[in-house]
Amino acid sequence: MAKRFHKHQYNEGKLRMEEIPFDLRDYVLFAVKRLAVFGVISGGSVFLFDSYFESPTDRSQRREIAFLEDRLAKIDEEMTNMSVILSDISERDDAIYRSIFGVESYPSHLRNPGIGGADRQRSLRGFDHSQAVISSQERLAELQRKLVAQSRSFEEVLDLAKSQTELLKSIPAIQPIRNEELRRMASGYGFRIHPIYKVRKMHYGMDFSAPTGTEIFATGDGEVVLAKRTWNGFGLHVIIRHGFGYETLYAHMSKIMVRKGQKLKRGDIIGLVGSTGTSVAPHLHYEVHKDGRKVNPAQYYFNDLTPAQYEEMLLQSASSNQSFD
């Protein structure tokens, strides 16, 4: 026979305690109490175990999290170093490369492009390490944008370098007559006494005295834009357009050996020295024009004169007080 549970209850009529068998309600309350005690003991055990003991899975996950946090910190450090290097490259780009070519710095709004629109990091939110991951993601995106901008800047610099090669070929950088064939520098750039009118007048070129028939050379790559004769003034003369704002004029020739539209390389023979037009002796009148202004040709003889020869040329050009034309 199954054991029955009893409870004690005071009988006021008999003035004594009596044992009364459990009814259904008593059994239910008894079971609930036992389950509550068991739940408290079980929950406390689990809490104590989780607090002071780790399962192999927990230990593995903790190591994984520590590894990822360490890698995230190292990635942030590497991005900081990359940012410093990129800033240095940008400074060199503006201060050196672009300065060499005489162009403006790369625009700041292009070098540091912003980004707007919707929250691009929405999928990364809601986790314990969300902020750290979002911060790294944003820094990486910023670096990517700056790298793209710097790449475009370097493409411009490369184009400048290519055009600079053409510029160096085009600058009128040699004397129009061989140095050894020069009798003397007849007259330089500046105010001189005109040989015919005997008045002080601005002389916009340099006069190279040489025998009639001496070869005259193009001083830079370019195209002949004028080859004509006038009976006074420049006489037989040629104008070469070199590009990049440069033009050169060669006057008083005895013979023109090029035609309009002809492409020339530096050193090509364009004619022979003479005394045509308004001239008192065989010589070459030579001018350099930059952006429409007549400039001192002496500033451009840097390809075929030594420093000593250059100084001698400056002295000769400055010593004469009278031009040949």
Compute the distance between CA of residue 144 and CA of residue 129 in angstroms, rounded to an integer: 23
HSE, CB side, 13 Å, CA atoms: give it for residue 18: 10
pLDDT tens digits, 97-140 = 666 566 677 677 676 666 555 455 665 565 666 667 767 777 78
Please state the rounded mean pLDDT for residues 231-257. Answer: 94
Compute the distance between CA of residue 323 and CA of residue 205 in angstroms, rounded to an integer: 10
Q: Which CATH number fits domain 179-319: 3.30.360.10, 2.120.10.90, 3.40.50.150, 2.70.70.10?
A: 2.70.70.10
Mean residue pLDDT of the chain comes to 76
Label residues 114-153 b or e (16+ Cβ within 10 Å = b): eeeeeeeeeebeeeeeeebbbebeebeebeeebeebbeeb
Higher pLDDT residue, 106 or 29? 29
Residue 107's Cβ-count burial label (10 Å; 0-12, 13-18, 19+) is exposed
Q: Between the CA of residue 180 and those of 4, 183, 305, what are the distances in Å?
A: 138, 8, 11
pTM above 0.85, yes or no: no
Compute the distance between CA of residue 173 and CA of residue 161 in angstroms, rounded to an integer: 19
Higher pLDDT residue, 15 or 32? 32
Share of the chain above pLDDT 90, in %: 21
- Lowest pLDDT segment from 33-37, 44-48, 204-208: 44-48
CA geometry: angle 88, 94, 96, nearest 5 deg: 85
Q: How confident is the model at residue 219 (pLDDT cuts 50, 70, 90)?
A: very high
Q: How confident is the model at residue 315 (pLDDT cuts 50, 70, 90)?
A: low
The β-bridge partners of 237 are 228
**Predicted pLDDT of residue 22:** 66
Greatest mean pLDDT among 47-51, 162-166, 181-185, 196-200 lies in: 162-166
284: helix, strand or coil: strand
Please state the rounded mean pLDDT for residues 283-294. Answer: 91
Q: Between the CA of residue 187 and those of 122, 193, 298, what are the distances in Å?
A: 78, 10, 11
pLDDT tens digits, 51-85 = 666 667 777 777 777 777 778 788 888 888 888 77
**Predicted pLDDT of residue 217:** 94
Q: How confident is the model at residue 1 (pLDDT cuts 50, 70, 90)?
A: very low
Cβ–Cβ under 8 Å, residues 237 and 249: yes
pLDDT at 199 over 60: no
Quick one: how many helices (H) and strands (E) in the chain? 6, 14
Q: Between the CA of residue 188 and those of 256, 287, 288, 297, 319, what are the distances in Å?
A: 23, 10, 12, 9, 8
